[in-house]
Amino acid sequence: MFTGIITGMGRIVAVHSQGSSSDHGKRLTIETPAGYLDDVGLGDSIALNGACMTATALDSTHNQFSIDISAESLAKTCGFGETDVVNLEKALRAHDRLGGHLVSGHVDGIGCVTHFAQVGESWELRLHAPQELSKYLAYKGSITVNGVSLTVNRVFDLTGDAAGSEISLNIIPHTIQNTALGQLAKGSQVNLEIDLIARYVERMLKDTPTQKKVDP
């Protein structure tokens, strides 16, 4: 479990294929800020751009760790390439502050940047979200973009070939300086995770048939 509050920025320094076909995953090596791995152990969870991964190798001397990412995870995320700068977040501990919102680290879909420009001291980020995620997006609701917990300022439902929704988000200078969101541009793809609470609300409101006990 995570909160969407980024704790560091890393850089992918090596990408190795785990096999010769698309059915195989990859091994990534990520360089972190100095000291970032001091409290990390093998098997710990670290989110990369919002996708929960497991640390499979640690090299504290060079501030690096490795992960194995499956073909399924590669297909469900916007991808990880060598030299990419990624947002990092260590898993939430029971006594930590919940500064963002509850984030599972499971990417629900891929969004696309439609607009990114400075407005005053902040930036406006607009994203196109796929249709299957539209019903979970609400004014002043939460969404995770590349691992960053953000608040939805506006929602525009779209029709036709552009079915889905366009959402508008405000990015403050601190977020620009301390995450990789500042590198986005029109056309960039991003990992999206909807609010976990919205998922449970949908489940509770669904009409489910009553199961009747049948006597033997």
**Tens-place pLDDT, residues 8-18:** 999 999 999 98
Predicted pLDDT of residue 211: 56
Q: Supply 145's token pair.
A: 């973009």
**Tokens 């091994």, located at residue:** 27
Predicted pLDDT of residue 79: 86
Predicted pLDDT of residue 197: 86
- pLDDT-flagged residues of the chain (< 70): 207-216
Q: Cβ contacts of residue 127 below 8 Å, gap of 6+?
A: 111, 112, 113, 114, 145, 166, 167, 169, 190, 192
Predicted pLDDT of residue 93: 87
Q: Supply 26's token pair.
A: 């990859």
Are the C-beta atoms of 6 and 179 separated by less than 8 Å?
A: yes
Predicted pLDDT of residue 173: 97
Q: What tens digit of pLDDT does each residue of 23-51 get?
A: 889 999 999 999 999 999 999 999 999 99
Q: Which domains does the chain have, with CATH numbers?
A: 8-90 (2.40.30.20), 109-203 (2.40.30.20)
Query: Which class for 63: exposed (0-12), middle (13-18), buried (19 or more C-beta within 10 A)?
Result: middle
Predicted pLDDT of residue 212: 54
Which alpha helices (DSSP H) does the chain contain, by range?
A: 71-76, 131-134, 173-178, 196-205
Q: Please give the backbone phi and psi of residue 63, each rounded to the nearest 5 degrees, phi first.
A: 55, 50
pTM: 0.90
Task: Write out 7-44 in H/E/C secondary structure.
Answer: CEEEEEEEEEECCCCCCCCEEEEEECCCCCCCCCCCCC
Predicted pLDDT of residue 216: 57
Predicted pLDDT of residue 207: 64
Predicted pLDDT of residue 19: 84
